[in-house]
Amino acid sequence: MKWEKIEYPWKGVNIPDSEIDSRMKLFDDFVTYFGFDPMAWGESVGSYERLLYGRHSYNNVANSCYYPYGWKKPEDVPQHDHSLLFKKSGTSRIVYVNQPYGFDRVQLEEWCNERNLIYVICDKRYSFYYPDNTDMVLVMSNDTYISCFDLTYWPQRWQE
């Protein structure tokens, strides 16, 4: 995974000109509110639990490196789509943002519980991929979730 400079990732994709500015504003508001610095594409990793708890060993697990040579494949967040990772430099705060067109809440909850992770379902109007049409789900460690309580109106500002 490669951490990159934060910029709206879907610029130049089939988004009508009339909508791009509002989507980019939602993106900028999200990044500014949480104080994220770098971002990365949400991709398969060996252990999302390790990644979201800020451990550099997230790919150093037996079931991630040798697929398809007999090991299990790297894991994905269930029903992931238009997903990004955001990080606050100098901390272990990493948030996975998933923006699918729909998802199974029970499956996501089971997946998170197995990994000791927290998820927050945001109001669809905050989805910066396709507002009011795609869901916006934040997945993070308990530590990251607790540190967000220092932010004004967290999580009420973002939740449904």
Residue 158 lies in a domain: no
Instruction: Report CA-CA distances (Å) from 20 to 64, 75, 121, 128.
Output: 36, 32, 23, 10
User: pLDDT tens for residues 16-39?
Assistant: 888 899 999 999 999 999 999 999
What's the mean pLDDT when you consider all of the chain? Answer: 87
Residue 160 lies in a domain: no
Give the integer Cα–Cα distance in Å for 154 and 149. 6
Residue 97 lies in a domain: yes
Please report the pLDDT score of residue 61 as a whole number.
Answer: 54
Residue 6 lies in a domain: no
3-state secondary structure of 27: helix
Cα-only R_g, the chain: 16
User: For residues 64 and 102, which has the higher predicted lDDT (pLDDT)?
Assistant: 102
Residue 4 lies in a domain: no
Please report the pLDDT score of residue 68 as a whole number.
Answer: 52
Residue 108 lies in a domain: yes
pLDDT band with cut points at 50, 70 and 90 for residue 63: very low
User: For residues 98 and 11, which has the higher predicted lDDT (pLDDT)?
Assistant: 98
Residue 3 lies in a domain: no
Q: Which domain holds residue 119?
A: 17-43+77-150
Please report the pLDDT score of residue 12 as a whole number.
Answer: 77
User: For residues 14 and 119, which has the higher predicted lDDT (pLDDT)?
Assistant: 119
pLDDT band with cut points at 50, 70 and 90 for residue 71: low
Give the integer Cα–Cα distance in Å for 9 and 86. 12
DSSP letter (8 states) at residue 160:
-
Please report the pLDDT score of residue 74 as a whole number.
Answer: 66
Cis peptide before 155 (omega within 30 of 0): yes
Around Cβ 60, how many Cβ atoms within 10 Å? 12
* Residues 81/82/88/91 CA torsion (nearest 10 deg): 20
Number of compact structural domains in the chain: 1
Report pTM.
0.89
Residue 32 lies in a domain: yes
